[in-house]
Amino acid sequence: SRKPRRILITGGAGFIGSNFVHHWCTNYEGDRVVVLDALTYAGNRQNLASLEGKANFRFVRGNICDRALIDSLLREEKIDTVAHLAAESHVDRSILGPDAFIQTNVVGTFTLLESFRHHWIEEKQPATYRFLHVSTDEVYGSLEPDDPPFRETTPYAPNSPYSASKAGSDHLARAYYHTYGLPTIITNCSNNYGPYHFPEKLIPLMCINILLGKPLPVYGDGQNIRDWLYVGDHCRALDTVLHRGRPGETYNIGGNNEVKNIDLVYRLCELMDELAPELPMRPSRQLITFVKDRPGHDRRYAIDATKMRQELGWTPQETLSSGLRKTIEWYLNNRNWWQPLLSQEYQTYYQKVYGQV
Ligand code: NAD
């Protein structure tokens, strides 16, 4: 006997956003779901094609910095829950051009918080309202090999314009709880992978380049460590936090899957050799090419998700092996999804980041 929610999902046409929208619409058919997305290079309305036309679903193309638009959406749709996933999300792009990161991640989050605060006051501050701010573990900076994983209490030390902008937005979400009592909750999650992941990100990039017989660019010595989580597990975690998390709290979400980048690329090569019917180059690992390291490249991220497990009972369902297999199968079966994304803009970006490889 759950009371239906009226949820605004920002960034719902992006990677995690679209997975989250599908998760929500499948599990809570009676809820009103409104997606707000600017459809930047990373947003793709195709990701939500199967929901278009459903009575409880609405897609709005718009910018989270547009205060008037958000004010009217919250009021008109009687929104009681915001899941905020819209962001500029790619570290390499934040190094090439940080402006959009400050605009969307800092100013956009501020605009949403401010609009939601006024809406919440207008509605007499219902205790059921929630603002879920979805963030990253990168705000905690870089770990040394022997450091314990990030906890919710780890001090912030962002190193890239991307993580600095996310840190700024986290601080705002936190301040809105402490200053105004607005029921905000923050989640900091490790690296995600899975369906609908834009080709520029490590895992899809490697799979697609293997299929095309192109070099596999690995930064520096390949020894950087990331902690990987299947996107479906992240979506279940966000659902759990929205339903049972405590306002004003932060929750770290991670899969306990620390892997060196080079080892991840080896695993992807092996899986592709096994699963892809025809490949231009076999074994795929011959394609690996080390390239100049990313400036300010964090060495290691790792999440301690004890609070999620103990307080909210959440644990990941996928292992890295099962999740990678699912992901590769999705990319093999959905070439029509990713092929058009390898546009001229993408090629230009790619050359800037990896040079001539
Ligand atoms: P993404 O880049 O795939 O999607 C972002 C979406 O936001 C796109 O659809 C884009 O069109 C939209 N958007 C961008 N600027 C906007 C604006 N000004 N107004 C409205 N919409 C705008 O990103 P993602 O990987 O799905 O990440 C979603 C969220 O999760 C981000 O906040 C990110 O920081 C966070 N996060 C991502 C990861 C990860 O591994 N991908 C891990 C932890 C946290």
Give nearest CA residue, ligand 1 atom 35. 135
Q: Which backbone phi and psi does 65 adopt, to 5 degrees?
A: -85, -5
Per-residue pLDDT at 246: 98
Tokens of 193: 């992978």
Q: Which CATH superfamily is domain 6-197+228-257+297-319 in?
A: NAD(P)-binding Rossmann-like Domain (3.40.50.720)
The whole-number pLDDT of residue 43 equals 97
The reply to whether ligand 1 has any atom less than 6 angstroms from the CB of 191 is yes
Longest Cα–Cα distance in the chain: 64
CB atoms within 10 A of CB 248: 16
Tokens 């900091």 — which residue? 188
Q: Which amino acid is at 113?
A: L
What pLDDT score does 294 carry?
92
Question: Sign of torsion, CA 49 55 56 62?
Answer: positive
Torsions phi, psi for 136 (to 5 deg): -120, 160
Q: Which atom of ligand 1 is nearest to the CA of 138?
A: 43
- Name the catalytic one among 140, 162, 193, 301: 162
Q: Which residues lie across from 259 on neighbouring strands?
A: 226
ipTM above 0.95, yes or no: yes
pTM reported for the whole predicted model:
0.98
Whether the CB of 163 sits within 6 Å of ligand 1: no
Among residues 31, 80, 92, 137, the one annotated as catalytic is 137
Tens-digit pLDDT profile for residues 299-340: 999 999 999 999 999 999 999 999 999 999 999 999 999 999
Any atom of ligand 1 within 6 Å of the Cβ of 342: no
**pLDDT value for 1:** 74
**Could you tell me which residues are beta bridge partners of residue 10?**
36, 84
Task: Find the 195 Cα to ligand 1 centroid distance in Å.
Answer: 14
Q: 15, 101, 111, 200: which to mutate for ligand 1, most atoms within 8 A of CB?
A: 15
For ligand 1, what atom is nearest to the CA of residue 12? 9
Q: Which residues of the chain have pLDDT under 70?
A: none
- How much distance in Å is there from the Cα of 3 to the middle of ligand 1? 28
Taking the alpha carbons of 149, 260, 330, 196 in that order, is the dihedral positive or negative?
positive
- pLDDT for position 277: 86
Q: Is the CB of 173 under 6 A from ligand 1?
A: no
Contact 139 CB / ligand 1 (< 6 Å): no
Calculate how far, in angstroms, residue 132's C-alpha sits from the geometric centre of ligand 1: 14
Q: How far is the CA of 57 from the centre of ligand 1 (A)?
A: 20
Domain boundaries defined on the chain = 6-197+228-257+297-319
Where helices occur in the chain by DSSP H, the ranges are 15-27, 67-76, 91-96, 99-101, 109-122, 161-180, 202-212, 231-244, 261-275, 306-312, 320-333, 335-338, 344-354
Would you state the pLDDT for residue 77? 98
